[in-house]
Amino acid sequence: MILLFLNDLVNLKLIDVIDILLVALLLYQFYNLIKGTGAINIFLGIIAFYIVWKVVRALHMELLSEILGGFISVGFIAVIVVFQPEIRRFLFHLGTPNFISNKPRRFLFWKFNLHNPARLDIREIIEACVHMSEVRTGALIILARNNQLKQFIMTGEEIDARVKARLLENIFFKNSPLHDGAVIIFENRIRAAKCILPVSEQQELPAELGLRHRAALGITEQSDAIAIVVSEQSGSISLAMNGILRKDISDIDLAEFLHGEFE
């Protein structure tokens, strides 16, 4: 097998190299479009499945190869259904004249993003939550991590401002046009407000939990984000992560948790 690979490598032609680079370029540009969204996990899963199928075929495992091949044969239709919004965006960018020229230095597979993300200003978030808790202002703050939640940012009003307690309080003020929905924070920037989030379908949730708590659970079930909820009725602060809700936590407990997760 190794000898066959070396033989193919020696016989590699210029057109083969161009073919490989073009496929890599298309995959890289498609990856950039879905990076930071939930679709990235599906995309990587499909690539892993395809690699496994190729390995199985190379090892002449006929039965398993036939089973996996059956999934591959119908997988193209499934990919179109699952990635319909991303494929549409990809084709739109592909049709623009500056598809390649607008990012001339990004297509370097050895050039990874090594910049240090901005440290989350936990003090400002705690200050805002404590004050909103005292005056019973309802709030839903989402702290994005590896998953940047771009698909949910697009449902709200983009802000892109540094995290400040006063700004968060103004956003969730009852008469503010942005107070409904969630605020999404990524890399110490308030990316958007009034964002629409998926609601958890857990059946065993207490009846007194409102839409904010259910949305906090919903987004943490589908991503690695952390959600902070301030109850409008009781003023209590709750924390959600991995689909688990911790209710009525103190500002000290919240600060310790956030320091442990982001520092």
Residue-level pLDDT at 140: 96
Q: Are 36 and 148 in contact (CB under 8 A)?
A: yes
Residue-level pLDDT at 108: 40
Give span(s): CATH 3.40.1700.10, the chain.
Answer: 122-262
Q: Is the pTM of this model over 0.75?
A: no
Residue-level pLDDT at 77: 73
Residue-level pLDDT at 130: 95
Residue-level pLDDT at 67: 83
> Which distant-in-sequence residues (6+ apart) come within 8 Å of 151 by Cβ?
37, 38, 39
Residue 133 CA to residue 237 CA, distance in Å, equals 7
Residue-level pLDDT at 83: 67
The C-alpha torsion from 214 through 217 and 219 to 221, rounded to 10°, is -140
Residue-level pLDDT at 82: 67
Collapsing DSSP to helix, strand or coil, 259 comes out as helix
Residue-level pLDDT at 105: 41
Rg over alpha carbons for the chain, rounded to the nearest Å, is 23
Q: Are 147 and 154 in contact (CB under 8 A)?
A: no
Residue-level pLDDT at 151: 87
Residue-level pLDDT at 12: 66
Structurally, at CATH architecture level, domain 122-262 sits in 3-Layer(aba) Sandwich (3.40)
Alpha carbon 260 to chain centroid distance? 21
Residue 239's nearest CA partner among 133, 121, 117 is 133
Compute the C-alpha angle 192/197/222, nearest 5°: 110
Residue 228's nearest CA partner among 158, 151, 127, 146 is 127
Low-confidence ranges of the chain (pLDDT < 50): 1, 5, 96-116
Residue-level pLDDT at 195: 95
Residue-level pLDDT at 39: 65
User: What is the amino acid identity at position 73?
Assistant: S
Residue-level pLDDT at 113: 45
